[in-house]
Structure 1
Amino acid sequence: MSIDYDEAYARSRDVPAFSNGTEGETWMANWCYRCLRDAPHRNMGKGSGCPLILVAMMSRTPAEWLDGPRDEQGRYSMADQYHCIEFKVPGGGGGGEPRPKPDPPGMDGLFPRPERATRMFVQPTPEPARQMAGAS
């Protein structure tokens, strides 16, 4: 994994990731238990495991866990409460850094290739609650 525990803890939000063990276990079964980043620790006990799980165990929410889909009332599926940007899907998805499609042999590219944009994982700031009309 490209980050360590101290970095992940420093970036995390001081809010518990899950309200109870069932919620945490359901989410981890859908994400962490399938992720290849934590597989060596999970399957063979090697390494220290995923630092994001450790941050969540310290009653904080890692910055790498973005809020998942919500309905109009703010409800969400426990298994999809967050989307982890460090998740590495098993059995595919390539590996390593993404590589652009090569130019045909003996031909120069028509346009220069742009630099790949970086992904930001900063949570948006919540909007203040709006007052209802007529409420004092």
Structure 2
Amino acid sequence: MNSDHDQLYDESRDQRPFANGTEGYGWFAANCETCIHDRPARHGDEGNGCPLIVLALVGRTPAQWLDGPRDENGRYSIASQYTCTEYRHEDDGPADPRPIPTPPGQGELFARDGFEGHRMLTAVPESDAARA
């Protein structure tokens, strides 16, 4: 994960990610409690915890947190309010293997150099998805 706090701050949205502490700590418990990036903080090394949590605690929404699923009335569950693009389960290890192997039977259109470590997941607004 990018550890440059200034860059993460600049990329973040100037809005509170959670309505209250119950919502925030509920989301942290459902997501951050098993993420490799916050493992040091859970083991007493708070200075090396996830910088995205720090952003949320100072009232900014990290760009890495994409809006989770909503029902037809815009409601969501606390646990799935956001999807963190940096989430890695602590049992999966610190990172994806390098270089990322090409799956068997999959062709490659272009070299993957320079794209490894980036997730290309983007949320499609419902209005755009309906037009497609």
TM-score by length of 2: 0.75
CA 1:22–1:102: 2 relative to 1, 3 Å: same
Counterpart for residue 100 of structure 1:
102
SS in 1 for 2:40: helix
User: Contact 1:63–1:122 (CA<8 Å) still a contact in 2?
Assistant: no
In structure 1, what is the Cα distance between the partners aligned to 2:55 and 2:123?
Answer: 16
State the Cα distance separating 1:58 from its structure 2 match.
1.1
User: Contact 1:5–1:54 (CA<8 Å) still a contact in 2?
Assistant: no
Amino acid paired to 1:25: Y
TM-score by length of 1: 0.73
State the Cα distance separating 1:12 from its structure 2 match.
0.5
5+ residue gaps in structure 1? 104-110, 128-136
Counterpart for residue 40 of structure 2:
40
State the Cα distance separating 1:15 from its structure 2 match.
0.7
5+ residue gaps in structure 2? 128-132
CA RMSD of aligned residues (A): 3.1
SS in 1 for 2:66: strand
Counterpart for residue 119 of structure 2:
119
Runs of 4+ in 1 over 6 A off after TM superposition: 121-125
Q: Say how many residue pairs are matched.
A: 121
State the Cα distance separating 1:122 from its structure 2 match.
7.1
Deviations 1:28-60 (A, max 9, x none): 001111101110122131643111011111111
Structure in which a larger fraction of residues adopt helix:
2
